[in-house]
Amino acid sequence: MCLAIPGKVIETQPDEHGVHMARVSFGGLVKRICLEFTPEAKEGDYVLVHVGFALNVIDEAEAERTYEALRELGQLDELSDSTAES
């Protein structure tokens, strides 16, 4: 099953080729994410991310509901296993 995880955009930055990228926080774990599918995303927005791509912009309440459901299912462990930004 494929799963998209909500994250908060903390900084947008194009890469060296002009690709719309961002630093996104997943409960403290920060990853570099591609925003090409969600060009409207801006700092402070929440996005649903799958395999390094933001697929949708969502509101904070929806992000919290998703985190709570993932906590209940024990699916947030993978996020806390990695500490390096990529």
| Spatial separation of the C-alpha atoms in residues 81 and 78, rounded to whole Å | 5
> Looking at per-residue confidence, does 77 or 27 come out higher?
27
C-alpha closest to that of 53 among 36, 67, 39:
36
- Across all residues in the chain, what is the average pLDDT? 87
* C-alpha torsion sign, points 14, 15, 18, 24: negative
Query: Each residue of 27-65: pLDDT tens digit?
Result: 888 999 999 999 999 999 999 999 999 999 999 999 999
CATH of 5-78, one of 2.40.70.10, 2.60.40.10, 2.30.30.140, 3.40.50.2000: 2.30.30.140
pLDDT on residue 80: 57
> Looking at per-residue confidence, does 79 or 58 come out higher?
58
pLDDT on residue 69: 85
Q: How far is CA 85 from CA 25, 51, 74, in A?
A: 10, 15, 22
Model confidence, pTM: 0.82
